[in-house]
Amino acid sequence: MSLTIFLLLQVWTNDVYPKLDNTGYGVVGGRVTGPAVGGFTLGGGYSWLTNQYGALIQDSFACLAPVDDRDAGLTCDTVQSYTLVLPNGTVSEVDSRQPDLFFALKGGLNRFGIVTNITMKLFPQPLQVYGGYIVYPPTSIPAVINATNKFSATNTDPKAQVITSLSYLASAAEAIVLLFYDGPTAPASLAPFLNIPALYKDVSTRSFSSFAKSSPSESSSGTRGAFHTLSTTGYTQPFLQAVYNESTFYGALAALHSGVFIDYDIEPFLKTYGQKTTNSAYPHAKSPLPLNLYFAWTSPTDDAFWRASIQQSVNTLTAVAKREGIYDASLTAYPNYALSTYTGDQLYGSANAAKLRQIKAAVDPNGVMDLTGGFKL
């Protein structure tokens, strides 16, 4: 038997992880500082534990209770129930006994009501993990790309993960790699990253909450910005080189359009994490690899330029993925990363989007939740 945790919609790194330190348990939750339980989980939820337990969906903090000990996929796959305030004002506990709404809340975002808390599964968590981040100069970027490609192709340990960020900040290219191992000692698979000449390292054995707080993910807070994404079936050296080329191309334009930060995040999950998926609005049974793009700028007059540019970059990289044989037309855009112009079909596929529209029409016939903005189904 495993345990569940009842969470309010708090911030993962500030509120949830510190309370789990020294308990021997953890959750399939957010990876960096900033995101909170609610939006993160409702969008699907990729985690440092996704390779082991899948994606997320959970919130709040109060009680522990035994549940069936079955592995899951994303954060949303670990959710046992949601407390949902429906558009008509009634409160409902949504779990597997309400299969349509339960499906819709697993990646379907805020289209169906207001979630006030979530009950999620807990999993065994070592008291100490190994991880942190490394900042590399431009001269080390080719080696970082090579190490990332090798890690993606050869790593088979579900406890080891990296995120490689190819960025342009303050008129200069840089690479940042977040390293994680779900145990106190670095595995051999992370050694190539540790041996590349770096500008700064903050990597050590530490508690999980200390590790999660260490990532420099809020360096562009207070600016305007846009996220976007595409999903691939894997990586190749030419594709990763194309990602770097895109970062430098748009980085060179930044000063002309009030740009302050250009970032492309490569996330080499195992190609098997989708085996743990549950029946979810966001389809991830094929273990898609989401590439995360983030552009930040300061002037409202540059909004149109950067939003068009980030879409053009996705189009360019999609064409590269097709040439490299790592494109699958059935893969959809990860909702938590996608540009707000994307449709329900692009986020969920035509079948899931049609089902979500039917569910929304049943629970929100007057379109109350449309007033919140966001994606249109």
Average pLDDT over residues 103-110: 94
Return all residues near 13 (Cβ < 8 A) that are at least 6 apart.
Answer: 30, 32, 33, 34, 209, 212, 213
Token couple for 352: 């899931």
Average pLDDT, the chain: 90
pLDDT above 70 (res 208):
yes
Average pLDDT over residues 210-217: 84
Q: Pick the residue with more confidence: 319 or 14?
A: 319
pLDDT, tens only, 23-53: 999 998 888 888 888 888 889 999 999 999 8
- Per-residue confidence (pLDDT) for residue 9, from 0 to 100: 74
pLDDT above 70 (res 108):
yes
Neighbours of 48 (CB within 10 A): 25
Q: Give yes or no for a contact between 133 and 179, defined as CB atoms under 8 angstroms apart.
A: yes
> pTM (2 decimals)?
0.92
- Which single residue is written with the structure tokens 């360096």? 219
Token couple for 248: 């430098």
Can you tell me the distance from the alpha carbon of 208 to that of 91, in angstroms, rounded to the nearest whole number? 34
Q: Give yes or no for a contact between 159 and 125, defined as CB atoms under 8 angstroms apart.
A: no
Q: Which of 57-61, 196-200, 332-336 has the lowest mean pLDDT?
A: 57-61
The helices-and-strands tally (H runs, E runs) of the chain is 10, 15
Can you tell me the distance from the alpha carbon of 251 to that of 215, in angstroms, rounded to the nearest whole number? 22
- Per-residue confidence (pLDDT) for residue 62, from 0 to 100: 35
Average pLDDT over residues 227-252: 97
Neighbours of 153 (CB within 10 A): 12
Q: Pick the residue with more confidence: 76 or 174?
A: 174
Strands 114-124 and 172-181 come out as unpaired
pLDDT above 90 (res 233):
yes
